[in-house]
Amino acid sequence: MFNPVFKTTNKIVQHIAEISAARELILNASLLPQLELKLRREAIVKMAHHSTSIEGNPLTLEQVKKLLIGNEVAAWQKDKDEVLNYVGVLEYIDKLGDKKVKNITEEIILKIHQINTRNILPKDQSGFYRKIPVAVVNGYGEVVFQPPPENKVANLMKDFVLWSNSKQARELYPVILSGISHYEFVRIHPFVDGNGRTARALSTLILYLKGFDTKRFFALDDYYNEDRGSYYAALQTVDQNTLDTTQWLEYFCEGVAISMNKVKDTVLQLSHDRRLKDKRGQVFLNERQIKILKYLQVNPRINSSEIQKMFDVSRETANRIIRVLLEHNLIARAGKGKATYYELL
């Protein structure tokens, strides 16, 4: 079975202390529901942009924002598909969290890859391990890393997944587990294409399922994308003979700390005084209302007919469901008559 090699250095310990402090503040912050939704939506946009941008997608952050609210964007269809597919992956991760999934499985990894590469790779390569050799090359066409041969991929992935659900893995701090998993996945390079996006999605999934990012405000991908050279250089610090990931984990933990502190600073700016929160009271939503808000995080709008179909209810019931969301300024009504629709504020 796979057995990771790394040392817990002072740098790693310091970063974990920073991460823990920032996370505690974020989870206990007094934010109104609409502000939490705003942060969650911004995280989705950032992840979709930065994770695809790392691998050369030319869409800007503004173009991604427009694309995700349904506006036309002048770009190649493949570039738009990469972004929309990554949002689909994030939706899938949310569903796994809703189902209280505990373990990473090969089926989950294959599904993430299949969503990531829909309409980009041939169907027999999307969601299937590679059957050909691949190489990682730099911008000059030079081979910088040679992944294991294709005939070893299946067994390596089985070992990796077995370890990720082991007692040893469960006892690791979630960020360390996520960082090790990220590197090992990239090292195996199990797919013809889309390995980087799938590795980053897997890291996000691990943090979420381990209860680390329960509010879904966190987007690590922007740290990678700000300095792609450092990201790839950190991946290459691992000696292929010893597979010691210590330096990579120092980089990975630093990235999580920086990203978490950015979220913390934003939360501090948006947080309302706790006494004001107590005076106004909490907004309690039922499962249907929460589902509508989740839908609107990645879809530009929803109308009454769609709500009726979503819950198999009458128009009158659909209107009752959304009334609370309107009353608490979580959504806004737009359009008139039969063309009426609702969107996040």
Lookup: tokens for 271? 């947080």
CATH topology of domain 10-270: Fic-like fold (1.10.3290)
Q: What is the pLDDT of residue 274?
A: 45
Q: What is the pLDDT of residue 328?
A: 80
Of 120, 46, 110, residue with least CA distance to 85: 120
Q: What is the pLDDT of residue 140?
A: 67
**CB < 8 Å & 24+ apart, contacts of 329-335:** 329/34, 330/33, 330/34, 330/37, 330/283, 330/293, 331/292, 331/293, 331/296, 334/301
The SS3 of residue 302 is strand
Q: What is the pLDDT of residue 303?
A: 92
Q: How do the pLDDT tens digits run along the chain, 345 residues long? A: 889 999 999 999 999 999 999 988 888 877 767 777 778 888 888 889 989 998 889 999 999 999 988 888 999 999 999 999 999 999 999 899 888 898 999 999 999 999 999 999 999 999 999 999 998 876 667 777 889 999 999 999 999 999 999 999 999 999 999 999 999 999 999 999 999 999 999 999 999 888 886 677 877 788 888 888 888 889 889 998 999 999 999 999 999 999 889 888 887 776 644 444 444 455 667 778 878 887 887 778 899 999 999 999 998 898 888 888 888 888 889 888 888 999 887
Q: What is the pLDDT of residue 80?
A: 95
Task: Tell me the domain boundaries of the chain.
Answer: 10-270, 283-344
- DSSP assignments along 233-283, one per residue: HHHTTS-TTT-B-HHHHHHHHHHHHHHHHHHHHHHHHHPPPHHHHHHH---
CATH annotation of 283-344: 1.10.10.10
Any idea which residue has 């050369």 for tokens?
56
CA 242 to chain CA centroid, Å, is 30
How far apart, in whole angstroms, are the C-alpha atoms of residue 152 and residue 2?
13
Neighbour tally for 3: CB within 10 Å: 9
